[in-house]
């Protein structure tokens, strides 16, 4: 069964720290992987989309990497701010069936 | 501004009632999706549509129905057959037909509560 796992489920860090969120997938044959942000009671905002041929994507203070051989993607957030507090979800499209498989998310709290 | 709108934001359903959730997009996207989100779980796909007048069941379609009469609209009906409908419902769209290959864009969601 194809699975996407995000550990930890929750993370709390002081403001200003650089941090890494993890996303692991069981099937290395992915087509692309997308990172989203969700604020409480809101919809999802797309942050970064990485194609399988890419190693990383950057947007402002965010950098997402993809390592298919190890079945892992990371979202790096530089100089964290309280406004970064949200739940971060990753989702992978699998090559075999083009299904989008979702992780359960990491709830991030940035303490002022 | 281009985007996806969902209405209502909050919806309350009595036992035995059917309710319809609205989803409209002006992004000119071909593909649209409905997801259900429960606390502590990943999103689960209910239905998706890759083109007008065509749609496919997702992982948890039982108790739900959809229609796709217009490119811009993809309403979801939660029927009385859905035994545990209390959840947060998210509509999404992506460009292109065929498969969910493109970047997905989401609406603000509808929270459905069964009374």
Residue of B10, B42, B112 to mutate for A, most A C-beta atoms under 10 A = B42
B97 falls in which pLDDT band (50, 70, 90)?
A: low
pLDDT, tens only, A13-65: 999 999 999 999 998 888 899 999 999 989 999 999 998 899 999 999 999 99
Contacts of A49 in chain B (CB under 8 A): 103
Whether A100 has a pLDDT exceeding 90, the answer reads no
Of A98, A101, A103, the CB nearest to B101: A98
Whether B96 has a pLDDT exceeding 70, the answer reads no
pLDDT score of B58: 92
B41 falls in which pLDDT band (50, 70, 90)?
A: confident
Report residue A67: phi and psi, to 5°.
-125, 95
Q: Which range has the worst mean pLDDT, A6-15, A82-91, A96-105, B20-29?
A: A96-105
pLDDT score of A99: 76
CA of B85, closest CA in chain A: separation in Å?
A: 17
Q: How far apart are CA B90 and CA B44, in angstroms?
A: 10
Q: Which class for B40: exposed (0-12), middle (13-18), buried (19 or more C-beta within 10 A)?
A: exposed
Q: How far apart are CA B17 and CA B48, in angstroms?
A: 23
pLDDT score of B100: 56
Q: Which of residues 35-94 of A touch B (CB under 8 A)?
A: 36, 41-46, 49, 89, 91, 93
pLDDT score of B95: 84
Q: How far apart are CA B24 and CA A30, in angstroms?
A: 30
Q: What is the mean pLDDT of chain A?
A: 93
Q: What is the Cα A13 distance to its own chain's centre?
A: 17
In B, minimum Cα distance to A102 occurs at: B42
**A103 close to A22: Cβ distance less than 8 angstroms:** no
Whether B1 has a pLDDT exceeding 70, the answer reads no
Whether B72 has a pLDDT exceeding 90, the answer reads yes
Q: Is B42's CB within 8 Å of A89's CB?
A: yes
Report residue A60: phi and psi, to 5°.
60, -125
CA of B7, closest CA in chain A: separation in Å?
A: 12
């Amino acid at each position: 069964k194809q699975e996407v796992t995000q550990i930890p489920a929750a993370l709390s860090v002081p403001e200003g720290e650089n941090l890494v969120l993890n996303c692991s997938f069981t099937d290395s044959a992915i087509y692309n992987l997308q990172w989203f942000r969700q604020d409480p009671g809101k919809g999802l905002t797309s942050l970064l989309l990485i194609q399988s041929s890419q190693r990383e994507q950057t947007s402002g203070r965010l950098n997402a990497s993809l390592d298919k051989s190890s079945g892992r993607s990371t979202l790096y957030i530089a100089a964290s701010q309280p406004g970064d507090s949200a739940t971060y979800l990753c989702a992978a499209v699998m090559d075999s069936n083009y299904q989008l498989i979702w992780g359960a998310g990491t709830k991030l709290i940035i303490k002022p | 501004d281009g985007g996806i709108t969902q209405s209502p934001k909050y919806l309350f359903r009595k036992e035995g009632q059917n309710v319809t959730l609205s989803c409209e997009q002006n992004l000119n996207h071909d593909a649209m999706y409905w997801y259900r989100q429960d606390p502590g779980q990943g999103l689960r796909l209910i239905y998706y549509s890759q083109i007008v007048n065509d749609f496919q069941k997702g992982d948890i379609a039982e108790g739900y129905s959809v229609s796709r009469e217009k490119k811009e609209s993809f309403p979801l009906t939660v029927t009385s057959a859905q035994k545990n409908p209390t959840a947060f419902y998210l509509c999404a769209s992506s460009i292109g037909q065929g498969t969910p290959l493109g970047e997905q864009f989401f609406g603000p969601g509808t929270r459905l509560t069964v009374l």
